[in-house]
Amino acid sequence: MAVKVSRTAGFCMGVRRAMERTLAERRDVEGTLYTLGPLIHNPQVLEILKKNGVVPVGTDEVRCGSTVIVRAHGVAPEALEALKEKGALVINATCPKVGRIQGMAKKASGEGKAVIIVGDRDHAEVKGILGHARGAGLCVSSLEEAVALRLDRPAILLAQTTFNEEEYEAIAAAMVRRFPGIEVLHTVCDATSRRQEEARRMAADCDAMVVVGGKNSANTMRLARIIASLGKPVFAVEDETELPPEAGRFRRVGVTAGASTPNWLIHRVAERLTEMQATGVAGLLWKTLAFLVRSNLLTGLSALGLALLSLVWQGFAPAFALLSVPPLYLFAVHVLNSFSEARAQEINEPAQRLFMQRHRRWLMPLAWAALALACAIAFLASPWVGLLTLSATVLGLLYQVRLPVARLSLAAIPGSKDLFTAGAWAVFIGWVPALTAMRELSQRSLLVSGVVFAMMMVRALAHDMKDLQGDRMVGKETLPIYLGQGASRALGALLIAVAAGLGAWAVAGGRFAAAGPLVLVLPLHALLYLWLFQSRRVTGGIAFSAVVDGCCPVLAALALFI
């Protein structure tokens, strides 16, 4: 059984640019923000935008003083002029590649040439390009229409950016035969070409294909038609709820998506397919793993594994207080954090959100009980450790509270959650054992906390990059949103290098009491799960969390036998 996700699926550059511009304007503009027509062809995204005060309108509905965003498809010049005449503030988010074609059409029409655009005549992009041709444009949608076309002057041939490249080549060849002087310009977007070509390759390797995207998205439906023409079963769905039962009966299923489909919808569909494929023993194992991940019990087990490794590396004998305080506290913190992120979970991990709602009656009391128990055991072990645990608890409770001095909450600081969470892991895994057993910090405890802090920051960055598009839509200020994806990847690489360097220094100098080489597995593991995510072998959900958090319990078990 396997679910393979296309590497080229999801937002194209133009759609991503339009979304980012719209969300940036949403933060800066008070009141309703308007888009001239639907921003993108995806109903789920449009519904979320509407809830956040981003509303599609027609030119006639625009009022003076309104802020209006021109979508990635672009519009005719007359529409832009009408908006300006009405006194609207226009934000032009037209895809640069579409803008380039508009410029070609304008230039050709100015030279007295006919502009032939190959595409869907009812598509917004085609209408906009025809508008820039200023009456000199014609649209053809098929080879038959191209063959029947008559021209009485020089012409250029253009393609809608998301048109089927093979069809365009066939139409272009026919046009050149009929009109030898016609100028053929290759304007199918390279991202579209790559997406279509990968869909063909995946269809050849898979037993069935799933195409994710809006039913009104031309490029999404074109992908489905391309796959169907190859004789492979194809299921076109808008989200995971539309997957038919038969989709789970195929052994190898490929998942691709249109240019307006966000990553969070793609990985939701991929995870649902994996669940549908898992039957019998595999199904039982999957349900068990899903329960461990969604309840945050796997996170607690990861904390327990790291706590045991910390004791081994620092040379402490296993003791109840040393092994219980870190996992109890960290499990409680992650459960409470999950309940506080309802809006983001609704988009990124709706199954997780549903699980938290269904099991709130026992999960919430369990988290508070674990927190209280961690504080009690910590005070019994050492007053200083007790104060440290209590202080961390109070800081966590104040995280969302607006501080009167600073006039903002800690949560409003970009990336603060990642820093505080990684800091909590570092303190409870590295410091608490040393303060409990020796009443002081040692070089070993500082080394352990340094490695753990770096690894937990990489873990947080991985989760944030996975949820980047969904977090943007609810206004979260994570590090990848604040720094950008490139800088976040560089930061992740730096943190992995720091952890590897600290680990290598500890191992080379014999600074860890036992099982020292296992520390080097942690940065290697981080590289592994980042590669799995970037290559879309693991896209999110249960599989992603299991890969990220499943290493430490395994390493701890190995440490017991070394």
pLDDT digits 0-9 by tens, 421-476? 999 999 999 999 999 988 889 999 999 999 999 999 999 999 999 999 888 888 88
| pLDDT for residue 439 | 84
- Does 405 score more than 80 pLDDT? no
324-374: pLDDT as tens digits:
999 999 999 999 988 888 778 888 888 899 899 999 999 999 999 999 999
Q: Write down the catalytic residue from 111, 125, 238, 246.
A: 125
Q: Which residue has the higher pLDDT, 86 or 504?
A: 504
CA distance 96 to 257: 22
Percent of the chain with pLDDT over 70: 98
Q: What are the residues whose beta carbons fall under 8 Å from the beta carbon of 97, sequence distance 6 or more?
A: 13, 14, 161, 187, 189
16-26: pLDDT as tens digits:
999 989 988 88
| pLDDT for residue 541 | 85
Residues 171, 138 contacting (CB under 8 angstroms)? no
Range 8-94: architecture per CATH: 3-Layer(aba) Sandwich (3.40)
Residue 178 dihedral angles phi and psi, to the nearest 5°: -80, -35
Helix boundaries (H) for 30-76? 43-51
Average pLDDT over residues 276-298: 92
Q: How much is the pTM?
A: 0.86
Q: With 0-12 CB in 10 A as exposed, 13-18 as middle and 19+ as buried, what is 30?
A: exposed
Range 296-559: architecture per CATH: Orthogonal Bundle (1.10)
Residue extent(s) of CATH 3.40.50.11270 domains in the chain: 8-94
| pLDDT for residue 41 | 87
Residues 450, 427 contacting (CB under 8 angstroms)? no
- Confidence band of 407 (pLDDT split at 50, 70, 90): low
- Confidence band of 389 (pLDDT split at 50, 70, 90): very high
- Taking domain 192-272, whether its CATH number is 3.40.50.720 is answered by no
| pLDDT for residue 315 | 93
- Backbone dihedral region for residue 515 (phi beyond 0: left; psi -120 to 50: alpha; all else: beta): left
Told to judge if 125 belongs to the known catalytic residues of this protein, a careful annotator would answer: yes
Residue extent(s) of CATH 1.10.600 domains in the chain: 296-559
| pLDDT for residue 440 | 87
Arithmetic mean of pLDDT over the chain: 91
- Confidence band of 179 (pLDDT split at 50, 70, 90): very high
| pLDDT for residue 475 | 80
- Taking domain 98-190, whether its CATH number is 3.40.1010.20 is answered by yes
Residue extent(s) of CATH 3.40.1010.20 domains in the chain: 98-190, 192-272
Q: Give the DSSP letter string of 128-179.
A: HHHHHTTT-EEEE-SHHHHHH---SS-EEEEE-TTS-HHHHHHHHHHHHHH-
